[in-house]
Amino acid sequence: MEKPTKKGVAPPMAWRTRLSILAAGCLTDATCRADGTINRRLLNFLDPHVPPSAAPRNGVASRDVVVDPAIPLRARLFYPCPSGGGGGTGDATKPLPVVVFFHGGGFAYLSAASRAYDAACRRIARYAGAAVLSVDYRRSPEHRYPTPYDDGLAALRFLDDPNNHPLAADDGDVPPLDVTRCFVAGDSAGANIAHHVARRYALASTTFANLRLAGLIAIQPFFGGEERTPAELRLVGAPIVSVPRTDWLWRAFLPPGADRTHEAAHAASPAGAAGIDSPAFPPATVVIGGYDPLQDWQRRYCETLRGKGKAVRVLDYPDAIHAFYIFPEFAEARDLMLRIKDIVAGGGGEH
């Protein structure tokens, strides 16, 4: 009798994709030091920044904006262009919904100008017909908790003031922004940031004059705890994520002496759940991959939201690895872009 085939730790994928994933792991391992610091000089060499593009690429243009000059905090704004060729379908007179996006990288790596995230945000803008403000938040270990959450809320406050919005008259094809249809989104650590920024917004929503959060899109959010989950034990050797890497990243991000029961890591903790039960906390979409070692924490996160009476849509991709959506060659990545388009078009909505 033939024995059942044991599921591996990664789905079949093209060799080019495998090489890209291997390179991402090598970038992390080569630049993190045993003393808890990162070799930023080497990292900047291995992860060169892509400049913004006023000329549309694939129908989407981008420009860098200063969110807070005192920090300084910057962000990259992507917007579909009506006259950009390459598939641009925007209307420079029609206000666009806004997706405030936080990149992944374990709070410590990558940036809004990293090639993979520049391309991913460009795809989101094109598919969703939305402006995407990709926040270049400060990274750990130089800037630990709660700095990225502070930066995320600062980005929302920046958008709340219409005087900060670029105007088509001054900047060519930049359309007006409709911040009453605003979404927070991110992947991995960026999804963790999006969640905590949504909590902070919910606790202070009455202080916003114009901006309203319509939805939260958490793509494979980075949460954790002290115990090891079945998925973490089963998927040893999975692409991108490993327990030693995530342990290092939490140590680099959390306050000195804190463990993974801290509110930043553990969404079910009392402090971490504050604000979720507010009517201003938006409906959530949570993306989970079957080859992601973090999936059990993500499902617990969904249970926490539902336990607070919040609407949650779960998008399950059984054959998806962690960070699958930044690889457009995966069919799941293309499907997710279409789902995001529907979420934004539907205004978040109840699930």
Residue 240 CB coordination number (10 Å) = 23
For position 348, what pLDDT does the model report? 67
Are the C-beta atoms of residues 101 and 151 closer than 8 Å to each other? no
Q: In the numeric block, which tokens belong to residue 235?
A: 């998927």
Angle, CA 344 vertex, CA 94 and CA 223 arms, to 5°: 140
Between the alpha carbon of residue 63 and those of residues 14, 130, 216, 329, the distances in Å are: 33, 15, 24, 26
Q: Where are the domains of the chain?
A: 15-81+94-345
pLDDT tens column, 280-305: 999 999 999 999 999 999 999 999 99
pLDDT tens column, 162-202: 999 986 445 557 889 999 999 999 999 999 999 999 999 99
Between the alpha carbon of residue 28 and those of residues 89, 262, 290, 312, the distances in Å are: 37, 24, 23, 32
pLDDT at 6 over 70: no
Answer yes or no: 188 catalytic.
yes
For position 84, what pLDDT does the model report? 47
pLDDT tens column, 118-168: 999 999 999 999 999 999 999 999 999 999 999 999 999 999 999 999 864
- CA–CA separation, 88 vs 95, rounded Å? 15
- Residue from 188, 196, 242, 296 carrying the catalytic annotation: 188
Are the C-beta atoms of residues 208 and 184 closer than 8 Å to each other? no
Query: Which percentage of the chain shows pLDDT scores above 70?
Result: 92
- Residue from 47, 178, 292, 296 carrying the catalytic annotation: 292
Q: Which residue has the tokens 């359309």?
A: 175
Answer yes or no: 269 catalytic.
no
For position 272, what pLDDT does the model report? 82
Answer yes or no: 247 catalytic.
no
Tell me the pTM: 0.94
- CA–CA separation, 324 vs 210, rounded Å? 34
Topology of domain 15-81+94-345, CATH? Rossmann fold (3.40.50)
For position 273, what pLDDT does the model report? 84
